[in-house]
Amino acid sequence: MVTYIDGRYVEDADATVSVRTRALNYGLGCFGGIRGYASDEAGQVLVFRLEDHVRRLARSASMLFLKLPVAEREACDAILEVIRRSQMHQDVYVRPMVISASTELSPVLREQDSSLIIYSLPLQRYIDKESINVCVSSWRRTSDNSIPARAKPTGIYLNSALARREAFDNGFEEAILLTERGYVSEGSAEHVFMVRDGVLFSPPSTEDNLDGITRRTLIELATKDLGFEFVERPIARTELYVADELFLCGTGAEVTPVNSVDRRTVGEGGVGPITARLKAHFSDVVRGRVEHRRQWVTPVWG
C-alpha cells in the first residue's frame, strides 16, 4: 500500500510523522473520507464526488488556519494516484488529511505548518448489518462554537469515540448525539434522516454537524430522482421514537437503516420502504449505473 505525504509516494511503513507533531499532541488537523466503488466494468474503480470532498477539505483547512498545500486539482490527482499505486481494483476508502506537522510545543495553528497526507484501504461495509440498533448518547455533540464540526477536525473525533464506546458498552451499534440545545445533531460519523408520513426530514448543518456530502447527495436523489418531499429542520429526540423510518448516512455508513432507537422499534423495524428505495438508488449512482449522475464519479483506471 502506498501513502502520499507532501508530494512523495512512499510505502505505508515509510509514511511517518514525529511523535512531537502538533497533530498528534493536540489534534491539530482535519481530514476527509472518500469512497471508490468497483464498477460493473472489470477492474474499474469509480471515486464518488472527488472534487466535492477535496473542496470541503480545503475549506476545512482554511477554517482552522491550515492550508491545503497544493491546488485542489493536484490533490484530486494525488488521491487517484494513491489508489493506483496501491493497486486497488475493489471498493476502497481514501483518507486525505491536512495536519499541523509542527513539532513545537503549545497548540498554535499556522498555515505554513500544513502537511497533506493521503492513504487508502480496501473497505466494503463500514457498518456490517442490514439495520442497526442505536441509542441517544449521553454525550452532547461538541458545539460549533467550541470546535467547528463543519471543519471535520481530527480532535473532535474524541467526542465521536466517547459516544461510540458508550453505545457499544450498552449493546448498541451506533449513537446519535444531541446538540447542547437538545436537538438531534448527528451520529458519531453519520447524518440522520427520519421519515414521517411519507416525508423525509434531516437537521440542517447549523445543528453542530458536518456539511455532509452523502447527506446532500441523498437530498438531491430523493427530491429530484425519486420525487420524495424533503424538509430540513431541527428534529427533537422524541421524534426519533415515533418516526416511521430512520436511517444514518455517510461516506463510510452509506445508507444504514435504523431498526430501533433506545430500544424502541422504529416503524415496523428493519428497512422501511422509502429507505430501501433511496439505498438502492444511491448504490446504483455510486457504481456509475445512473447515466445522469455519472458526473459524480471519477474513474481511477484507464
Residues designated catalytic: 152
> With binding defined as CB under 6 A, does residue 207 bind ligand PLP?
no
Q: Which is nearer to ligand PLP, 45 or 210 (CB)?
A: 210
Q: Which is nearer to ligand PLP, 189 or 261 (CB)?
A: 189
Q: Which stretch binds ligand PLP (CB under 6 A): 21-29, 204-212, 228-236, 264-272?
A: 204-212
Q: In b/e form, how buried is each residue of 121-133, taking b as 16+ CB within 10 angstroms? A: eebeebbeeebbb
> With binding defined as CB under 6 A, does residue 250 bind ligand PLP?
yes
List all residues 6 or more positions away from 166 whose beta carbon is below 8 Å from its beta carbon.
135, 137, 138, 139, 175
Q: Which is nearer to ligand PLP, 22 or 35 (CB)?
A: 35
CA 69 from chain center: how many Å? 22
Pick from 214, 256, 275, 298 the residue near ligand PLP by CB under 6 A.
Answer: 214
The answer to whether the CB of 50 falls within 8 A of the CB of 298 is yes
> With binding defined as CB under 6 A, does residue 288 bind ligand PLP?
no
Pick from 173, 174, 190, 208 the residue near ligand PLP by CB under 6 A.
Answer: 190
> With binding defined as CB under 6 A, does residue 98 bind ligand PLP?
no
Q: Give CA–CA dist 176/202, Å, rounded.
A: 13
Pick from 22, 150, 164, 215 the residue near ligand PLP by CB under 6 A.
Answer: 215
> With binding defined as CB under 6 A, does residue 96 bind ligand PLP?
no
Count of positions (residues) in the chain: 302
Number of Cβ within 10 Å of residue 145's Cβ equals 8
Pick from 75, 210, 221, 258 the residue near ligand PLP by CB under 6 A.
Answer: 210
> With binding defined as CB under 6 A, does residue 257 bind ligand PLP?
no
Q: Which is nearer to ligand PLP, 85 or 216 (CB)?
A: 216
- ∠ Cα 233 295 52 (to 5°): 50
Shortest reach from residue 252's CB to ligand PLP, in Å: 6
Pick from 22, 150, 164, 191 the residue near ligand PLP by CB under 6 A.
Answer: 191
Strand 254-261 and strand 132-140: the pairing is parallel
Helices (H), 170-265: 213-220, 237-242
Question: Could you tell me how many helices (H) and strands (E) the chain has, helices first?
Answer: 7, 17
DSSP state of 293: G
Give the binding site for ligand PLP (CB under 6 A).
Answer: 33, 160, 186, 189-191, 209-210, 212-215, 250-251
